[in-house]
Amino acid sequence: MKLSIDQRIFETFEDPQIGVVVVRGADNAGESAEVVELLRSAEEGVRQAFVGIDPITTQPNIAVWRKAYKKFGVDPHEYRSSIEALVRRVLKGGAIPHINKLVDVYNYISLKYLVPVGGEDLDAVKGDLALTFAIGDEQFVRLGGTENEPPLSGEVIYRDELGVLCRRWNWREADRTKLTEGTRDAILVIETLSPIDLATVQRATQELAELVQRHCSARTISFIVNKGNAVIEF
């Protein structure tokens, strides 16, 4: 199985770098009190980090995704990157709920480093994965949905042979490949654009892998996918 990034992504956006953690043999059932505590601490960190930032869209890690969304023809006021949506939820006083251990861990990493993080169940993926631009006829049923909602032509998507795994880069995941308590094999991705540097991506990726190993008793292998390493095989 491969994950590739379309070279046009590198030509269009500012220094894309994707931290990847491939997870094998996870025990994703139940809840980890330690991970929940990490989530609560990350939420408090966000509240402190955004004191005096008004509007929050001026914060560099959020602003860069708004700029990216505009480049592929999406209004960021209507559709928000996953990190902006997560931060807004925290700043409104909401606690990030327990979903399952893999999702809880990646939400913690997302809040700590202020970057989008997502994941797919590899047993539900068909063929290779790609981060690319949509043609516009791909199949997509959103998380919790039942209707096909194909992407717009030119929209940035993750896809496999069957259709879209995530629309608008990191806006909404597909129901077909969602992580559940029964997930054993998964791929988790940390998405960054400039000004996030390589060292930060590496730290976040390493921490994500270590937490998954500890709390899900899983084996992991990690990669950094960027312009110099646009295709990985696992």
- pLDDT for 211 equals 98
The residue type at 149:
E
- pLDDT for 153 equals 98
Please name which of 91, 88, 86 lies closest in space to residue 44, comparing C-alpha atoms: 91
**Mind listing the pLDDT tens digit for each residue in 52-83?**
999 999 999 999 999 999 999 999 999 999 99
Residues 195/64, Cβ–Cβ less than 8 Å: yes
**Mind listing the pLDDT tens digit for each residue in 171-222?**
999 999 999 999 999 999 999 999 999 999 999 999 999 999 999 999 999 9
Dihedral sign for Cα atoms in the order 19, 215, 98, 180: positive
Going by pLDDT thresholds of 50, 70 and 90, the confidence category of residue 33 is very high
Please give the structure tokens belonging to residue 211.
């937490």
Three-state secondary structure call for residue 153:
coil
Please give the structure tokens belonging to residue 170.
């990191």
- pLDDT for 106 equals 98
* Entry pTM: 0.97
Class of domain 2-233: alpha beta
**Mind listing the pLDDT tens digit for each residue in 82-132?**
999 999 999 999 999 999 999 999 999 999 999 999 999 999 999 999 999
> E strand or H helix at 33, and its extent?
helix 33-49
- pLDDT for 141 equals 98
- pLDDT for 197 equals 95
